[in-house]
Every structure is written in structure tokens, then in C-alpha cells.
Amino acid sequence: MDIIYDPFRVIGDALRGLLGGFGLPDWAVQLIMIVIGVSVLVVFAMLTMMFLTWLERKLIARIQDRVGPNRVGPLGLLQPVADMVKLFTKEFIIPTNADKVIYYLAPIIFVIPAFMVFAVMPFDRHAIISDLNIGWLYIVAIGSTSTIALLMAGWSSNNKYALLGGMRAVAQFVSYEIPQVLSVVGILLLVGSLRMGAIVEAQNTIWFVLLQPVAFVIFLLSTISEINRTPFDLPEAESEIIAGYHTEYGAIGFALFSLAEFINMFAASALAATIFFGGWQGPILPGWLWFLIKSYAMVFVMIWLRGTLPRLRVDQLMNFAWKVLVPLSLVNLTLAGVGVSVMNYYGWQLSSLPGVLFAFGTFLVFNVIMVLLFLALYRTPKVERRNVVLVKQASKSRPQTPAAASGR
Amino acid sequence: MIAIKDQRSKMDWIMEFLTFIVFAGMTLTGAVFMVTLHNLVRSVLAMILAFVGVAGLYLVLEAEFLAAIQVLVYVGAVAVLVLFAIMLTQRVSDPNKPTNNAQAWLAFTVSVAMFGILSWVYAPIKWPALPALPTVNNEPVGSVVNLGQQLLGAYAVPFEVASVVLLVALLGAIILARE
């Protein structure tokens, strides 16, 4: 039974025993275990990415009443393989006036943080590569580095659309980082730790989405923006700026950007599942399966949003971050602080039933207050019509047509 | 380096030393490229390398919180800085543009003097080799819990004063930009 319910520890212990049996010293065993763990994680992330490209195309096709990929393999399941082979064998073109070093580096720097996030992801009770005590902060710090990669890509391409995409990426990511971080701080107050493992364990009795629904909505929206997906994919809005920062990238460069974006999408879904939906905690089924089920449920929500909503305008995007999400998350943080102080004052813990009931009641009231505040204060943006004033053309600038000259 | 007699194995010590060399090298390389490159964007990117190296040094010192904040704050700030560099600079890249001005020698002298003074101060100190990081309330001293309690407890006033200073700088920048 252990092999199903706790496979990571069983396999890990077996490997450790095997390596120890060869007479290797402790540090060598430790090193090999780390290498194996990281390799497994990288392979898992790659396979996830391939599956997600297929899943997204299939689901979007279903939403748009199409069939989607159905030629390569059963149900088109081998489509990602075909795509990858195509992208790997194409020529990697560098624009003549591009800054070559930065042009090469940008996709690589974009991919690395995407993998690094998984280092603190709790896949199961004993399946977390490194349960850092700064867990959430680590994820935020690693995530923020992707901004600079997109700017590098946009700038080094020496293409005005690419540069516009890079600039949009910076403006958007720097803005949406704030509500994303603040919305989780309320939960960190409840947990009393930044460790991802502790966040999951604290949801033993109640999922945090029930205590902090407003924070969850803020987190979901700002995360979708951070990972650059519709309706917030302004940096690569194809109807406005071709493909944004990766306009000039083809072949393997494009493949790396696409890889990182899909891995980011899965990481964001897994984070939402971990922080708000109890991570690997759940009845009957083993922990890793719960983790996957919850993560893929979040993935489905993201694809669903993409299939449903049109893209925002740039000004709407910025207003939404600074005038709606940031104030709302600040109010949420303040109220969460009040709630946690009261709980600490009376010595109520989330692990006991009265504590949970109290927390649920209090935070329900707080969330209702926040929703009412939002409805009362938020004014729906009016459709602004610009007054178009036609300026008389100066007659010198354009040679007069014979018809106009004759005064007809 | 200082002799280490201890419970820590030689392996640990070598690993730590190598890590230090790598991160220190990263910081210095980034810093040198930052001041010598002719391309503005490239030199700002070299600055990021230096910042990441400093974050790595914090990690070696087991100050994880500081390392994360270093990456978080500076990388975001640098991205905005690059934007302004691109928007406000006439010639982002010009190999003929000098990277030094007349005060370069003065700056060099001051830097060397500073290095000398700091070496003179720090060289005689015998850094004690601790077997492990000291703990407060079962947490390492640099942990988030202890840092937070210190910042909002014993050092609350300096902490708040620092934030007021930052706020004033922010408002000042806005007022200057408006004029």
C-alpha cells in the first residue's frame, strides 16, 4: 500500500539504501539523490508541457465547436511530439541588427526560473525537493526574474513591435506582482510560516479558499496576468503587436518561450491548488493524485477563461491592477490581520473545531464586507468616446486635385 | 581562511568555499562589465548579474530572506531602470562614447583608499567559526520569524524612519517629474 500512498518516500528510501550499499559516503549519496530528484522534476515538467499544449488545443477547440488536433496518434495525442520535431529542425534565424548575445540568452533566462519554481512545490507529503523556510517568497523572487528575460528578448530583437511587447511586459508584471503577493500574505498570517509544506499542512481542517475567497480571486487574476495568458496577454497581443516580445524568435527560441509559458501555467495552477485548495490533502486517494487533480482543475479554469474572455486594453489593464486589485488586496490583508489577531488573543487554532468555526464566521463577514465595499465604490468604466476634431488640411501640404481646384 | 576545528566535515568546508568563489566571481565580473561596457542595456544587465551574485553570497551566509528580497526588489527595479534607459537615452549603444570622464582617477583613488581602510579594519579580526547557526526560539537567527520580530520590535523606529525616507523620496520624484 505504501508504494501507492507514499511512493516518493518508498522509492527514495530504496534508492538511498541501494546507493549506501555500494559503500558511497553520505555526501555522495545526498548529491546523487539531489541529481535524481532534479532530473525527475525536469522530465515531469517537460511531459506536463507537452500534455498541456495538447489539452489546451483540444479544450479551446471544444469551446469553439471545432475538433482540434486529431491526425497524429490517437485523439491527436502525439501532436506535441510532431510540433517539437518541427520546431527543433527549423533554422534559428537571428535578425541582422539584433544584439546577438542578449538575443540568445533571453529564452534561456526565461526558461530557468520556470523550472526553479518546482523546487519548493509540495507534490506530496514527502515529495518536496526543498521545503525552504522562505517558500512563498522564493517563488515570488524567482517569478519576478522572468520580467527581465522578456525585456531582453524584446529589446535585443531590434524590432519595434518586439520592444513594445517587452515594455508592456515590464509594466504589466511589475504592477500585477503587488496584488499577487499581497493576496497571499493574509494566508501566510493564518499559517504563521512561509514554508509551502506548512501552508498545506495548515489546511488539514479547512481549505483557505473558504476563508479567503476574495484573496483567491485576486490571486487567480493577478497570476493569470503574471504568466501572460489571455485575457491579460498584452505583451504578445497578436492583433496589436504581431507576437510581442517573441516576434523575431523562431525554431528553438520560440520553443523555449512556449515551453516556459506552459510550465509557468502548470506551476501557477499547482500554486493555486497548494495555497487555496489544500494541496495534496484529501480523503481516500493518495496525496500526489489529489495534487494532480486539483492542479489540472485549475489548469482547466485557466483554459476556460482563455476561451471565454476577450483581451483587455492597455489602459484597462493598468487601471484594473492599481485601482481595483491593489486596494482590494490591501483591505483584505488588513482584515485578515484583524481576524488573526483576534484568533491569537483567544488562543483559537485552525486545527480545532471551534477555531475553524470562528475563523470561517469571521472571514465570511470580512469577505462580505469587502464585496459590498467593492460594489459600492467601483464605478464601471464608461465607454469614453473621443471628440474627433477634423483639422483642416493645410493646402500647401498636398497638391490640389484638378476637381477641387475647379471648385466643383 | 581561518582554521576550522569542528563538527563540520572538510567536504562541507570545501563546498562552501567553492560556492563563495563562484558567487564572488559573479558579483565582481558583473560589476566590472557594468562600468566598462559601451552598451547601456548590456551594462544594466551586467548589473543584474552582480546583484544575483550578491544574493548568492547572502545564501552562503544562510540569510535566505535577504537573498530572496535582493532578487525580488532589484530585478524588478532594474527592469524599470532598463526601460528608462531605453526611453531617455539618445544613443543606447555607441562604441565611441567614453565610459569614463575626468573624475575617473579621483574615483579610483577613493575606491582603493576605501578598500585599504576596510581591509585594515577587518584583517586583524579573528572570525569565530561557529559549529552551527545560533538559534532564537528554535529558529535560526536569520529566519523570517526572528527578522520580523526584530524589525517590528527592537528596531521598529529605524524601520519606520527608513520607510518614511523612502516615501519622501518617492513623493519628491513625482513632484520633480510633474514640474
Q: Dump pLDDT digits (tens) for B43-83.
A: 888 888 888 899 888 888 878 888 888 888 887 777 777 77
pLDDT in tens, A145-184: 888 888 888 888 888 888 888 888 888 888 888 899 899 9
pLDDT in tens, A4-21: 777 777 787 788 788 777
What chain A residue is nearest to B70 in terms of C-alpha separation? A141
Q: Measured between beta carbons, which residues in chain B are less than 8 angstroms from residue A134?
A: 64-65, 68, 144
Please state whether the peptide bond connecting residue A402 to the residue before it is cis, i.e. omega within 30 degrees of 0. no
Looking at CA atoms only, how far is residue B82 from chain A in angstroms?
Answer: 8
For A149, what's the count of Cα atoms within 13 Å in the CB-facing half-sphere?
23
Q: What is the pLDDT of residue B118?
A: 93
pLDDT in tens, A304-319: 998 898 888 887 888 8
Record: contact B83-A167, CB cut-off 8 A? yes
Record: contact B82-A140, CB cut-off 8 A? no
Quote the CA–CA distance of A162 and A245 in Å, as a whole number.
Answer: 4
ipTM of this complex: 0.78
Q: What is the pLDDT of residue A382?
A: 67
Classify A124 as helix, strand or coil: strand
Of A134, A137, A151, Cβ closest to residue B79: A151
Q: What is the pLDDT of residue B4?
A: 43
Q: What is the pLDDT of residue A71?
A: 84
The residue-averaged pLDDT of A94-101 equals 85
Alpha helices in A90-195 (DSSP H): 100-116, 135-156, 160-191
Higher pLDDT, residue B100 or A138: A138
Residue B7 pLDDT > 60? no
pLDDT in tens, A347-385: 777 777 777 888 788 888 888 888 888 888 877 766 666
Q: Residue B54's closest CA among B80, B28, B34?
A: B28
Q: Measured between beta carbons, which residues in chain B are less than 8 angstroms from residue A173?
A: 79
Q: Residue B58's closest CA among B76, B72, B44?
A: B72
Report chain A residues touching chain B, CB-CB < 8 A: 27, 99, 101-102, 132-134, 137-138, 140-142, 144-145, 147-148, 151-152, 155, 163, 167, 170, 173-174, 177, 193-194
Record: contact B79-A152, CB cut-off 8 A? no
Q: What is the pLDDT of residue B24?
A: 92
Record: contact B72-A27, CB cut-off 8 A? no
What is the model's pTM? 0.83
Quote the CA–CA distance of A307 and A60 in Å, as a whole number.
Answer: 6
Higher pLDDT, residue A127 or A278: A278
Q: Who's near B170: CB < 8 A, 6+ residues apart?
A: none
Residue A122 pLDDT > 80? yes
The residue-averaged pLDDT of A58-77 equals 87
Report chain B residues touching chain A, CB-CB < 8 A: 9, 11, 39, 41-42, 45, 48, 64-65, 67-69, 71-72, 75-76, 78-80, 82-83, 86, 93, 139, 143-145
Of B41, B72, B93, Cβ closest to residue A140: B72
Residue A342 pLDDT > 90? no
Q: What is the pLDDT of residue A408?
A: 45
Record: contact A27-B41, CB cut-off 8 A? no
Q: What is the pLDDT of residue B131?
A: 65
For chain A, give percent helix, strand, coil, nearest 5. 75, 0, 25
Q: Residue B45 burial (CB < 10 Å; 0-12/13-18/19+)? A: buried
- What is the 3-state secondary structure of chain B? CCCCCCCCCHHHHHHHHHHHHHHHHHHHHHHHHHHHCCEHHHHHHHHHHHHHHHHHHHHHCCCHHHHHHHHHHHHHHHHHHHHHHHHHCCCCECCCCCCCCCCHHHHHHHHHHHHHHHHHHHCCCCCCCCCCCCEECCEECCCHHHHHHHHHCCCHHHHHHHHHHHHHHHHHHHHHHHC
Higher pLDDT, residue A289 or B88: A289
Tell me which DSSP letter residue A127 carries: B
